[in-house]
Structure 1
Amino acid sequence: MTKIIQSLREIDPGYNTLFCDLWGCLHDGVRAFPAAVEALIRFREGGGRVVLLTNSPRPRRNVAVQLEGLGAPRECYDLIVSSGDAAQAAMASGAFGRKVYHIGPERDLGFFEDADGTPFDVERVPLEEAEGIICTGLFDDQTETPEDYRATILYGKTKGLKLLCANPDVIVDVGEQRIYCAGAIAKAYTEAGGKSYYFGKPHPPIYSLARDDLAKATGEAVEAQDILCIGDGIATDILGAMGEALDAIYITGGLAAAETATTPDAGPDAAKLHVLLEQAKLAPKFAMGFLK
């Protein structure tokens, strides 16, 4: 049975590591949430470690810059591990060809460079010349939907091109606007008969990378019972955590705010939350309206 809590202060002190999602938990794409920032800083001051585990297609160095701009200070986390980090290695290996067609905005071009800014041995080319497709998002997520990519999807599927999805999220909320992500394109590509490959939550590669990076940083392995995941995506954060046998806090004030009747002043509604989790066939250990 999922327990509704009001604050991180209520969790078992046995957890010493948080795998915390960003969008919908720490920020909304416009600004960082002060209460969430404070909660993570407090957890670290108590001796805990915070890994920001995000489905952002951007490498961690770019995510750090974005967080600073949103008002999330460096003091609120130890490490960043992104879907972009996990997917970069696969692209750099040539698994999707050396000539690729990129679906995504210019702000994601850092995906094609290593930590020093050196371009990978992968060339971005027109679709007709591509050996594979790299999807980091939509070209214009403010106005476009997956329907705008029907011709591209049909062509890629017909040519047998593999699609690397650098961000498994299907939708996110930017302030008050809901927009599509790379996961929506990959889902449509798969439904059309193409092959899509994922590296972020809920898939194992990003969790393995997070554990390995934390072990390198601290000099010690992190055990499953020490980790508590935090996220607002039922099909990404919560499904991923449970697939890794990790405890989780479901943040209901993000993507599921309407379904769970969560508002800044109240929620989630226990009955509505129960229905949602029953439908998803998932049972996170905790639920919380907003991270605090």
Structure 2
Amino acid sequence: MTRIIQELAEISDRYDVLFCDLWGCVHDGVQAMPAAVAALQAFRAKGGAVVLLTNAPRPKPSVARQIARLGVPEDAWDDIVTSGDAAQHGLVTGAVGRKIWHIGPSKDLTFFSEMSPDLPKADIALVPQAEAEGIVCTDLFENLTEQPEDYRGRLMLAREAGLPMLCANPDLMVDYGDKRVWCAGALAKLYEEIGGTALYFGKPHPPIYDLARRRLAARGIEVVEDRILCLGDGIGTDVAGAAGEGLDGLFVTGGLAAADFGPDPEHPDPQSLNTWLAARGAAPQWSIGRVR
């Protein structure tokens, strides 16, 4: 049974490192959440390290610029590790070929242009679907107006051509302000349902956690597994990823599933929460309404 806490400070002495989700926990796509920012700053002030572990399909520099615009200051984190960072390794090592059909908006083109300096060089060409050897999906082209079903026809053609898909963001959906929008993970799920092959690198899959550990080690930060806490509002990504890695989890109930736990997102109903978690086979050590 999960224990509901009111503030991160109640348990922060148990941990040296936070793997903290971004969207839905630290910002809502429109602006930073001040209480969450203050909680991360306080954790770092007492000597802890914060890795913003996000399923954003763009590489770290792009996400750093984005969260700065949203009001997340640099003193709230030590490093950023993205699904895009982890997926880039799959791309340059040829997981889906060299001629790529990109599904996603132009803002995600940094996935192809801002490569980590520790990655091998690769000759990647963005081509139309008919010329492609594989697919990189970072998002829907227009996620504010489109649905995954709008892509069924194109994905069926891709399946018939045998194109593997690299999914750079396993999230199914996020809340953009007060609007819920679909993500790349929803297209990858549909592609698999119709018989296509999808490869994943973000949460809950191991590559993004491995990269986070390597980044900490490169900073000289010792990583003790039972001193890492994973925070997030995604039951199938953040909570499942923590469990898969053998790490403690803090489920943020006031995010994607807030409506299932009573009328007050800040204070989830314990009975509703535990029933909901049990139905999904999830058992995070801790839960909190919002990061604060």
Alignment-mate amino acid for residue 158 of structure 1: E
Q: How far off its partner does 1:12 sit?
A: 5.1
2:262 aligns with 261
1:154 aligns with 156
TM-score between both structures, scaled by the size of structure 2: 0.96
In 1, distance between residues paired with 2:289 and 2:123? 44
2:93 aligns with 93
TM-score between both structures, scaled by the size of structure 1: 0.96
2:232 aligns with 231
Would the aligned equivalents of 1:231 and 1:238 in 2 still touch at CA under 8 Å? yes
Give RMSD over aligned pairs. Answer: 1.4
Shift in CA distance, 262/224, structure 1 to aligned 2, threshold 3 Å = farther
Q: How far off its partner does 1:276 sit?
A: 1.2
Would the aligned equivalents of 1:169 and 1:236 in 2 still touch at CA under 8 Å? yes
Alignment-mate amino acid for residue 231 of structure 1: G
In 2, distance between residues paired with 1:181 and 1:195? 17
Q: Deviations over 1:63-120 (max 9, x none)?
A: 000010000000000000000000001101122111010000000000002247xx95
In 2, distance between residues paired with 1:120 and 1:105? 22
2:271 aligns with 271
Would the aligned equivalents of 2:12 and 2:43 in 1 still touch at CA under 8 Å? no
1:249 aligns with 250
1:20 aligns with 20
Would the aligned equivalents of 1:172 and 1:180 in 2 still touch at CA under 8 Å? yes
User: Counterparts of 1:102-181 in structure 2 under 5 Å?
Assistant: 102-113=102-113, 114-115=115-116, 120-181=122-183
Which aligned runs of 4 or more in structure 1 are off by greater than 3 angstroms?
none
In 2, distance between residues paired with 1:200 and 1:151? 26
1:288 aligns with 288
Q: How far off its partner does 1:263 sit?
A: 2.7
Would the aligned equivalents of 2:85 and 2:116 in 1 still touch at CA under 8 Å? no
Alignment-mate amino acid for residue 211 of structure 2: L
In 1, distance between residues paired with 2:282 and 2:263? 19
Q: How many residues align?
A: 289
In 1, distance between residues paired with 2:233 and 2:259? 13
2:50 aligns with 50
1:196 aligns with 198
Alignment-mate amino acid for residue 71 of structure 1: G
Q: Deviations over 1:146-202 (max 9, x none)?
A: 011011110111111100000000000000000000000000000000010000000
In 2, distance between residues paired with 1:245 and 1:98? 35
Alignment-mate amino acid for residue 133 of structure 1: I
1:10 aligns with 10
Alignment-mate amino acid for residue 245 of structure 2: E
1:61 aligns with 61
Q: Which ranges of structure 1 fall in alignment gaps of 5 or more residues?
A: none
Alignment-mate amino acid for residue 246 of structure 1: L
In 2, distance between residues paired with 1:262 and 1:250? 18
In 1, distance between residues paired with 2:95 and 2:204? 21
Q: Which ranges of structure 2 fall in alignment gaps of 5 or more residues?
A: none
The percentage of aligned residue pairs carrying the same residue is 54
Q: Deviations over 1:43-63 (max 9, x none)?
A: 000000000000000000000
Alignment-mate amino acid for residue 176 of structure 1: D
Alignment-mate amino acid for residue 215 of structure 1: A
